[in-house]
């Protein structure tokens, strides 16, 4: 008993996500944790692995008209439309707050063109308090007629490369699952110089209001998140882990530590929770403590014993 | 500061065909409750339904540390909630949102509730009464059976006037007709309203015509309930360029700021 | 009251799925209803819109080792591996039984090569009692190193064309949702001569057994079905309905008539239920009667008023 | 013919820390039940858990039209099942599968159950007893508390011998040790067994060594429960080329046909 308690103190779950140092592997996913403030009453935000802030664009965006969200079976659809105050406001208002509160911050950035991505990265450069950049490449590329960056390997390569040229921070593209071959996209990211991969963003879906006989969301389509998508997320991470050597931030439907373990075992170095936070704002904390408990009970000395474990024959 | 707690259910009663009153002990939450705020409650412990559901604070007993909710069964979540028994726990977050702005001094107040929209007005009435306000309540429902807050409002000491569509109690017809026929605007300092938007739209017009301060409580689908997900967006006026978040900037808004659906 | 009952008798919900005549629009999905026999104690199988039989190959197949199935949040993964007795056994044993029972049968066929698909279609040709052929193109193409037919437009085109050449029956490819651009695949099907489209097959997913730290399914990956995938299915049908003029058999996660209505409204001419049958073997019947009731209550005189309704501005 | 019914729950009792006995009225199903068959039950009415769960027929009262299940709480479905109350309904399909092959004439029978694997053996004992068989039951569990079928088996009139790992009742140790030490194979005509596979593997060896007819009841994950989905596949012997379906070809198999996991 005494021995176990000692071990517990010694278990180190800090981790390195392609140069992004995390005290623990459990992060808050972009768009689900605002800029950290909103959840301050519920959780010590400085203890979260990293807070990945709301997707931020060059200019402020008003977002989509409502309804923006609707619940589905074990999931939800969202079509927020990247409402955000723009990169300046983020750097001037939100980042200082997060820095003061000792939060590990990953900036999530989005653009309509490669130049926009690069410009935002350049503006972030030099601002203390940002540990890394997550590239939301699931937005439509206006120059290419709305085709999403994240579905074309060539565009993925170019966006990553352009951003890498403008920043010294670790860069982590967030892959869209709405593709035929996720490995191809991961390889393109690697070729572009990505330091890590974030997987997965939401699946594109929709719902119909049978009373009005219209699409439920004003935007028609929305991103599906929550437990419903976990099997797809696990599969994609498993596939990519075998073929690409970059560390992976895994997420999609995690609502408890057992889910988190599945993600580690298929190959995620760290995990992110999104929708789960809406239900339980203390989820990040809870997963960390259950993870420690699990490791202790099962004599797992380090996270690396778990990462990719499901690939062993 | 709002919090998250397991609230111990101390009473849970069906008050008519599809409405329930649920009282739970959660002292830290009860202590903070302001009229017009809401509780974000998880119906059931599993992923289905996945998200919490927002329910207005219907009543609070700070001495006991309890909060009471009044809800109508409309779908999955509310149906599941009905199966919670006393001595069991409900997972609650709150109090959330911006509640009603209270008058600085005793005033003559009108509350207009439609259906289950009466919920936030009851705790509001209690607090206003404690401040020495003079309160008139209009409550419109389908039928006598839905006048579930009558007893509480009478005990609080309000003047209560029902309107039922079937005429089984009080005025027969819309509560807005009752408003226009019965209420003397000059004798009013302030109005608070919650209910179907077309009803509130009439209240808004009434308030505007007679230049009376008024607030409304709005609804939108919610995920986080705290302003993090940006899901519960609404343009207060059609030509606004920005969306407010009903969960954080509301659910209560000044009636002049809002364009209501008719 | 009397009037309503009269209307009810007059509502005609028979429909035509690219030449496949259905008495009602509710079909049993392939692989979930065996060859009909298993569910005979529970439901009048002759009254089902169509029974789409288990995917059938040229030669018998033993299928994958167990575990083959695992439940997930509002869904399940399966990796049956196309266990089936082969086309001969189907034609000699199962088809006569179904014919005797007046079941509307759609044959679901699968092959490793284009030639196999064509050969099976040819063998079916001339056998009375088959109303149409559903092409399962989600199987790996052995000639192309395992890449699925259903993810490459060119292969889809060729498979459909080859089968059409060998049969006079309506041909309906069943589209895989594991693609970047479902509309492209639908167009390829149309170009190949498809009479209808079946959408969607399962999403590829996986699950990990955290106790053994291994993939739960012996096959590692499995197909995700059930309510979890409904939003993705609806979205894809919505997209295809706008661009391709073929009638669509829609399914994926339907467990009640409200789900069925959503599928009709996004553009499905008929619907299929799979996983839902495991929970409620009488689901096809129940949906039909609820659908009739809904149409009556809402003064909907014909299915066509509902099909694609969500596209009206 | 199996059917699907809403079974009216007439009793539902917790029999130890994690085991429950659930009795429901479903006359058409009860009428058809053979020992060794199972009921496919939907825990809860929502999509979670999504699928039905197979539970063996523990006992049947054909006069009353009732079926009793004995289940152990191991996960989502069984946990949810515990919340069903008497006078509520459970959604049940059955009886499903191929049950135990009964002897043509009265025989000397041994039943070997491990843990909750005792479930199908109880109704089997009842039917065998009615046929005039001479029945010995060995039941192995962790502790005295899990010997939940003792009372039923005694009333039925079997010779009951428990084995508990902690020695709180009967033989201290594995039920298979008890089997090897206590049972005289010459006095046996037939064995039926259900429990953990390593336990059943020892029974299989015992039966083979002494050339005694024996049957086992197997488990696999199930979706449809009727042979339609091909989900519950199992190779009975490692070198078989075909898979049986446990739900339809089983769950009961002749012990000689099966290679058990050790
Ligand atoms: C701030 C606020 C306070 C509220 N206070 C109360 C209250 O005191 N008592 C009460 O009975 N209800 C109240 N509501 C409405 C209540 O939240 C919904 O009725 C409830 O979430 C429905 O959940 P469900 O799972 O039963 O329904 P669902 O199965 O989710 O949906 C059933 C129907 O209800 C409607 N609905 C569902 N969720 C919402 C939502 N978030 N907003 C608006 N409509 C919705 C939909 O139109 C749908 O057709 C309040 C809503 C808000 C936003
Ligand atoms: C023919 C048959 C008869 C059975 N009879 C009984 C019985 O009389 N009493 C009883 O308590 N149990 C019986 N079982 C086992 C019972 O079906 C499972 O324990 C139950 O389905 C678990 O459901 P859950 O949702 O609680 O667990 P889950 O949350 O689904 O899983 C919890 C754990 O249980 C195991 N498990 C889940 N489902 C199955 C399954 N279908 N087969 C094997 N293991 C599973 C898994 O390993 C998992 O780790 C029987 C199984 C079969 C196949
Ligand atoms: C309301 C909402 C808003 C989101 N906004 C963003 C965003 O701005 N940028 C981004 O990259 N991902 C965004 N996401 C995706 C999440 O970060 C996450 O990848 C996804 O929800 C899957 O994880 P989950 O199932 O744990 O929620 C959003 C998700 C939700 C539900
Ligand atoms: C156990 C199982 C077996 C299946 N087998 C086949 C098959 O042989 N051929 C095929 O085209 N689809 C097969 N499917 C896919 C279904 O026909 C259906 O397209 C899919 O399950 C989505 O619908 P649902 O959510 O209603 O189940 C199978 C699905 C399941 C669950
Ligand atoms: S519900 Fe999330 S911002 Fe209002
Ligand atoms: S569970 Fe479907 S075949 Fe056995």
Q: Quick one: pLDDT at residue C141? A: 65
Residues A150 and A175 sit within 8 Å (Cβ to Cβ): yes
Distance (Å, whole) CA B111 – CA B129: 12
Strand residues in C35-159 grouped as ranges (E): 51-52, 69-72, 75-78, 105-109, 132-136
Q: Is the Cβ pair B50, A275 closer than 8 Å?
A: yes
Residues C227 and C202 sit within 8 Å (Cβ to Cβ): no
Interface test with D, best of A71, A73, A258, A279 (most D CBs within 10 A): A73
Average pLDDT value for chain B:
94
Interface test with D, best of C76, C279, C280, C282 (most D CBs within 10 A): C279
From the candidates C50, C139, C196, C264, which is the catalytic residue?
A: C139
Cis peptide before A237 (omega within 30 of 0): no
Give the mutation target among D78, D82, D96 for probing the ligand 2 site: most ligand atoms within 8 A of CB: D78
**Distance linking the first and last C-alpha atoms of chain A:** 33
Q: How far is C257 from chain D (nearest CA, A)?
A: 15
Atom 29, ligand 2: which residue's CA is nearest?
D75
In chain D, % of residues over pLDDT 70: 99
Distance (Å, whole) CA D250 – CA D222: 12
In the block, tokens 């000689």 appear at: D256
Ligand 6 geometric centre to CA of C32 (Å):
10
Atom of ligand 4 nearest to the CA of C174: 11
The SS3 of residue B122 is helix
Residues of D in contact with A73 (CB under 8 A): 47
Question: What are residue D148's phi and psi, to 5 degrees?
Answer: -75, -20
- Decide which of B262 and D120 is more confident: D120
**Which residue of A74, A215, A312 is in closest CB contact with C310?**
A215
Based on the residue annotation, tell me whether C139 is a catalytic residue of this protein: yes
C3: confidence class by pLDDT, cuts 50, 70, 90: very low
The SS3 of residue D23 is strand
Q: How far is C90 from chain B (nearest CA, A)?
A: 40
Ligand 1 geometric centre to CA of D151 (Å):
50
Cβ neighbours around D169 below 10 Å, total = 18
Mean pLDDT of C44-61: 95
A147-194 pLDDT, tens digit per residue, is: 688 899 999 999 999 999 999 999 999 999 999 999 999 999 999 999
The SS3 of residue B12 is strand
Token representation of residue B185:
């605007």
Q: Decide if A74 touches D, using CB distance below 8 A.
A: yes
From the candidates A139, A159, A194, A266, which is the catalytic residue?
A: A139
- Decide which of A138 and C259 is more confident: C259
A8: confidence class by pLDDT, cuts 50, 70, 90: low
Per residue in C113-133, is it b (16+ CB within 10 Å) or e — as a string? bbebbbbbbebbeebebbbbb
Domain ranges of chain C: 2-311
The SS3 of residue C240 is helix
Distance (Å, whole) CA A128 – CA A292: 31
Residues of B in contact with C74 (CB under 8 A): 47-48
Ligand 2 geometric centre to CA of B157 (Å):
58
Distance (Å, whole) CA B6 – CA B53: 15
Distance (Å, whole) CA A184 – CA A311: 20
| pLDDT at residue A306 is higher than 60 | yes
Cis peptide before C133 (omega within 30 of 0): no
Residues A309 and C213 sit within 8 Å (Cβ to Cβ): yes
Interface test with C, best of D40, D224, D242 (most C CBs within 10 A): D224
* Residue D65 burial (C-beta neighbours within 10 Å; 0-12, 13-18, 19+): middle
Token representation of residue C75:
């869904």
The SS3 of residue C62 is coil
Distance (Å, whole) CA B33 – CA B1: 10
In CATH terms, is domain B3-96 a member of 2.140.10.10?
no
Ligand 4 geometric centre to CA of C7 (Å):
35
ipTM of the prediction: 0.95
Distance (Å, whole) CA A121 – CA C68: 46
In chain B, % of residues over pLDDT 70: 99
Atom of ligand 4 nearest to the CA of C253: 25
| pLDDT at residue A2 is higher than 80 | no
| pLDDT at residue C149 is higher than 50 | yes
Distance (Å, whole) CA D180 – CA D201: 13
A73-107 pLDDT, tens digit per residue, is: 999 999 999 999 999 999 999 999 999 999 999 99
* Secondary-structure class of domain A2-311 per CATH: alpha beta
C205-255 pLDDT, tens digit per residue, is: 999 999 999 999 999 999 999 999 999 999 999 999 999 999 999 999 999
Q: Decide if A280 touches C, using CB distance below 8 A.
A: no
Q: B108-254 maps to which CATH number? A: 3.40.50.80
Ligand 6 geometric centre to CA of C168 (Å):
34
Residues B230 and A80 sit within 8 Å (Cβ to Cβ): yes
The SS3 of residue C25 is coil
Residues of B in contact with D80 (CB under 8 A): 46
Domain ranges of chain D: 3-96, 108-254
Angle between helices A182-192 and A230-243 (to 10 degrees): 50
Q: Which residues pair with C133 in a beta bridge?
A: C107, C171
Strands B66-72 vs A208-209: parallel, antiparallel or unpaired? unpaired
Q: Quick one: pLDDT at residue C93? A: 94
Strands B66-72 vs B19-25: parallel, antiparallel or unpaired? antiparallel
Residues D241 and C62 sit within 8 Å (Cβ to Cβ): yes
A9: confidence class by pLDDT, cuts 50, 70, 90: low
3-state SS string for B55-121: EECCEEECCCCEEEEEEECCCHHHHHHCCCCCCCEEEEEEEECECCCCCCCCCEEEEEEEHHHHHHH
Token representation of residue A12:
């180190």
Q: Is the Cβ pair D229, C31 closer than 8 Å?
A: yes
Determine the distance from the C-alpha atom of residue A67 to the mean position of all C-alpha atoms in its chain, rounded to a whole number. 24
Q: If we measure between CA atoms, which residue out of C23, C260, C262 comes closest to residue C131?
A: C23
pTM: 0.95
Ligand 2 geometric centre to CA of D171 (Å):
28
Determine the distance from the C-alpha atom of residue C7 to the mean position of all C-alpha atoms in its chain, rounded to a whole number. 31
**Which residue of C222, C231, C261 is in closest CB contact with A205?**
C231
**Which residue of A181, A205, A238 is in closest CB contact with C234?**
A205
In the block, tokens 């935007």 appear at: A219
Q: Decide if A85 touches B, using CB distance below 8 A.
A: no
Distance (Å, whole) CA C190 – CA C171: 10
Residues C293 and C260 sit within 8 Å (Cβ to Cβ): no
Contacting chains of C (3 CB pairs or more, <8 Å) are: A, B, D
Q: How far is C118 from chain D (nearest CA, A)?
A: 26
B53-77 pLDDT, tens digit per residue, is: 999 999 999 999 999 999 999 998 9
Q: Using the Cα atoms of residue C82, residue C84, residue C88 and residue C91 in order, give the sign of their dihedral.
A: negative
Token representation of residue D231:
């989900």
Q: If we measure between CA atoms, which residue out of D227, A299, A253, D78 comes closest to residue C207?
A: A253
Alpha-carbon dihedral angle through residues B182, B185, B191, B193, given to the nearest 10 degrees: 40
Give the mutation target among D75, D95, D146, D221 for probing the ligand 2 site: most ligand atoms within 8 A of CB: D75
Check pocket membership of D227 for ligand 6, CB cut-off 6 A: yes
Element at C4 (helix H, strand E): helix C2-10
């Amino acid at each position: 008993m005494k021995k176990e308690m000692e071990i517990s103190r010694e278990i180190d779950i800090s981790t390195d996500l392609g140069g992004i140092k995390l005290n623990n592997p459990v992060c808050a996913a972009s768009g689900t944790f605002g800029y950290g403030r909103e959840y301050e009453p519920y959780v010590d935000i400085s203890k979260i692995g990293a807070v990945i802030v709301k997707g931020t664009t060059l200019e402020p965006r008003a977002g989509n008209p409502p309804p923006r969200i609707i619940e589905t079976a074990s999931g939800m659809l969202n079509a927020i439309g990247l409402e955000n105050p723009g990169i300046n406001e983020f750097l001037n208002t939100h980042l200082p707050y997060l820095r003061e509160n000792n939060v590990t911050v990953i900036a999530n950035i989005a653009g309509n063109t490669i130049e926009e991505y690069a410009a935002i990265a350049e503006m972030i450069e030099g601002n203390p308090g940002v540990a890394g950049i997550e590239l939301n490449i699931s937005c439509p590329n206006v120059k290419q007629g709305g085709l999403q960056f994240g579905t074309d390997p060539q565009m993925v390569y170019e966006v990553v490369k352009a951003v890498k040229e403008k920043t010294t921070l670790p860069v982590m593209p967030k892959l869209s699952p709405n593709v035929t071959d996720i490995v191809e996209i991961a390889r393109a990211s690697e070729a572009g110089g990505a330091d890590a991969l974030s997987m997965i963003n939401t699946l594109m879906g929709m719902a119909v209001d049978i009373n009005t006989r219209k699409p439920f969301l004003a935007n028609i389509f929305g991103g599906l998140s929550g437990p419903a998508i976990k099997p797809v997320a696990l599969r994609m991470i498993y596939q990519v882990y075998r073929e690409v050597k970059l560390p992976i931030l895994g997420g999609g439907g995690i609502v408890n530590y057992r889910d988190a373990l599945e993600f580690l075992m298929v190959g995620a170095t760290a995990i992110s929770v999104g929708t789960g936070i809406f239900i339980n704002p203390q989820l990040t904390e809870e997963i960390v403590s259950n993870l420690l408990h699990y490791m202790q009970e099962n004599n797992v000395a380090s996270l690396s014993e778990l990462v990719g474990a499901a690939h062993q024959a | 500061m709002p919090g998250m707690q397991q609230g111990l259910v101390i009473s849970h009663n069906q008050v008519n065909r599809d409405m329930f009153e649920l009282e739970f002990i959660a002292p830290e939450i009860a202590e903070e409750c302001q009229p017009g705020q809401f509780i974000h409650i998880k119906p059931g412990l599993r992923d289905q339904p996945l998200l919490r559901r927002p329910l207005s604070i219907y009543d609070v007993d700070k001495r006991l540390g309890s909060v009471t909710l009044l809800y109508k069964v409309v779908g999955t979540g509310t149906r599941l909630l009905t199966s919670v028994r006393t001595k069991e726990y409900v997972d609650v977050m709150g109090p959330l949102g911006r509640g009603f702005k209270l008058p600085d001094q005793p005033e003559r107040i009108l509350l207009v509730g439609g259906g289950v929209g009466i919920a936030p007005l009851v705790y509001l009435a209690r607090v206003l009464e404690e401040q020495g306000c003079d309160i008139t309540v209009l409550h419109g429902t389908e039928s006598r059976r839905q006048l579930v807050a009558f007893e509480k409002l009478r005990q609080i000491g309000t003047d209560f006037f029902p309107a039922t569509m079937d005429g089984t109690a009080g005025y027969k017809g819309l509560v807005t007709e009752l408003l226009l026929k019965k209420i003397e605007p000059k004798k009013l300092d302030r109005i608070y309203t919650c209910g179907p938007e077309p009803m509130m739209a009439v209240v808004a017009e009434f308030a505007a015509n007679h230049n009376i301060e008024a607030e409304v409580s709005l609804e939108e689908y919610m995920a986080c309930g705290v302003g993090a997900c940006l899901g519960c967006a609404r343009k207060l006026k059609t030509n606004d360029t920005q969306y407010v978040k009903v969960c954080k900037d509301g659910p209560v808004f000044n009636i002049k700021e809002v364009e209501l659906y008719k």
